[in-house]
Amino acid sequence: MELNEIDDDIEAFLVESYENLNQIESDIIELEKTSANGEALVRIYRSLHTLKGNCGFLPFPNLESLAHAGENLLSCLRDRQLAITPDIISTLLQTVDSIRQILSQIQATKQDSDVYDGLRLRDYSALIGLLTRLSETKQTPKPSQLPVNIQTPQEDTAASESVEALNHELTEISTTTSESAYIRVNVNLLDQMMNLVGELVLARNQVIGFSTKFKDNNFAATCQHLSLLTAELQEGVMKTRLQPISSIWQKFPRVTRDLAIASGKEVEVEMEGAETELDKSIIETIKDPLTHLVRNCIDHGIELPAERVACGKPSLGRLFLRAFHESGKVNIEIGDDGRGLNLERLKGRAQQLGLVNAVQAATMSESEVMNLIFLSGFSTAEQVTYLSGRGVGMDIVKSNIEKINGTIEIYSQQGQGTTFKIKIPLTLAIIPALIVSSGDNRYAIPQASLQELVRLEALNSIEILYDVPVYRLRGNLVPLVYLNQALQQDSISNLETLSLVIVQVDNYRFGLVVDTIEDIQDIVVKPLGRQLKTLSLFAGATVLGDGIVALIIDVVGLANRTGITAKQKQLLSENAVNSLEQAGDRQTILLFEGPQGARMGIPLAIAFRLEEILASAVEKVANQDVFQSYGQILPLIDLYKIFGARDPFNDEALATVAETLQIIIVSPYSELSVGLVVDRILDIVEEPLNIKGISSRPGVLFCAVIQGQITEILDIETVIRIANPHLLQLATHG
């Protein structure tokens, strides 16, 4: 056998062995809960038997001896000649750890010998001896204890062996028939495919950019088809990189057991949503933060059994993990039913460590006090122990989550427990981002950080409060950051109009002043070079459709660099006063220009998102105009049809209308989303609708005076009923 063939065999052996070890460890933990779980015993036995057989083929004699000793002990447990005890469970887990160490050695050296490069490696003879002694303490079971598959001495031994051989053969056939539906693919190949798809996305963006310069409907339709195919290919390749979060969670029962024993506590783990998938690169990034949160819950959260009983709780503490998809993100919750956070103790400890002063501590809100645990250097541990003081604080947890554009929040009630809620994107390779410009350069802002866009026609709407430029956005003061100043550019923003990008950082928001706002597009995230990695303002770079490189703004880094978070805290009390003053019958309205220049609006609560599509992307199914959006086929309602004007989708009218259509996706019901075609988005306002008039025509709820102008507030349900009553029937009757 050639050397490269041997290396391939070893690689395949390692992949299979690591997968088996993870299952073995999980089954051993399950045995401790329900020792009568015969299926788990059989799975562990078979896995060790397979591992031992593979070792003899390669060969790895030391690993084979250890696996054989473990197999003998499992054989006694399976045949109920030994009772399962905590000592046996601990020994089996130690065996798993030792096998994992030997596999790591094989991965590094391609052998499992006791000596490598003249160095004496770890000796496992003591563990093998312990496994052997445990196996030799077996007792003859009573007749009532005999398992179903054990043959009595009066039965034919040859027949028993034949049945066992047949069962083994059937198992092999079943296994082979079922890892056949799947193949193993090298991770490097997946990364290469992802890079190629990223380049394809860039090429797609360039082609679409060209299509807007030519008045050719066929070319535009081809570009739209290319865009859809690229999006589907991108989604397919991204799915190949997805891994279930169980790849991280499967080690937590073992971690919980070890930490509970070390701290003298009783803890059970509940996991929900282990099948939730996310990109493998994100899996690697969040592995350590999640492990630290689990440790934190056991160490600081869950009380000792006696303390829990004294508080009226069961002695067994509860650690729970949940994961689910929501709004295009992965939500992860890790919590406990322990003592909860003591806010006074947190403030006192922060003052003791010099992180806050007495005045700051006295004026903090509950959420601000809880967030103290994320400060660098903060710890409630008085001394370093096995569980605490390991040099990885909650500040590292928070920064690692923020590096992948994620957020973490704390919810705690003293005496009831604490929950950490994390939101992270599905993937980091290709993300939607808003393109803006400042000076002669363009920048990308991840869509996950965006709240809304504002265009100011007059500079007198900007005020100065506490030496901070602020803008009153629907009654709340929003601090402003001028991007050109933050980047130390010489350019000066347009003095006639200002474009604000409202972004969210933690629980605060601020307005980023830019020169121009372009559009939202999918961008391929490229890592920064060594010269730029130290700049906290940027999270990466991308190549735009015209071939120009744009830096991706790190919103959290920008907030920290400009000190905007501290400035926002100064405005909280001012905003609270404004909220009280302006409380009343106020509504948030999305304003837009409709047919024949009519000024219209809808409640922002039912507006899901805004889109711009090519007119050629509109298709017709029966008599309903539809378009494809984010993997969905959505009905399209043209307000020109509702209010008695021309049809912009008619072939004769295509030459006189814009090549792109402004779409508002509305969701009047959870089961129904439709797209409204409007002429132009105007603004988002929050005003008390005190001056109202009657409905001007069918499809209009009432007229109101907004910003001094008469505005028609649409009745979306009536608009849909006029366009296609069948849509409402589906939504209201399922």
**For residue range 448-471, what is the model confidence (pLDDT) as tens digits?**
788 888 888 766 678 877 677 888
- The per-residue pLDDT for range 72-117, each reduced to its tens digit, is 898 888 888 888 888 899 999 999 999 988 888 888 888 777 665 5
The band of 269, judged by pLDDT with boundaries at 50, 70 and 90, is very high
Give the per-residue pLDDT at 290: 92
The domains found in the chain, sorted by start residue, are 3-147 (1.20.120.160), 187-241 (1.10.287.560), 244-425 (3.30.565.10), 430-581 (2.40.50.180), 586-733 (2.40.50.180)
Give the per-residue pLDDT at 298: 92
Mean model confidence pLDDT for the chain = 79
pTM: 0.59
H/E stretch holding 238 reads helix 217-240
* Cα distance from N-terminal residue to C-terminal residue, the chain: 64
Place of tokens 């490229």: 526
Give the per-residue pLDDT at 208: 81
* Residue-wise DSSP of 178-228: ---------HHHHHHHHHHHHHHHHHHHHHHHHHTTS--HHHHHHHHHHHH
Contact 381, 392 (CB under 8 A): no
Contact 32, 87 (CB under 8 A): no
7 has a pLDDT exceeding 80 = no
Give the per-residue pLDDT at 160: 42
Report phi then psi at 661, rounded to 5: -115, 140
- The per-residue pLDDT for range 651-667, each reduced to its tens digit, is 444 444 457 888 999 98
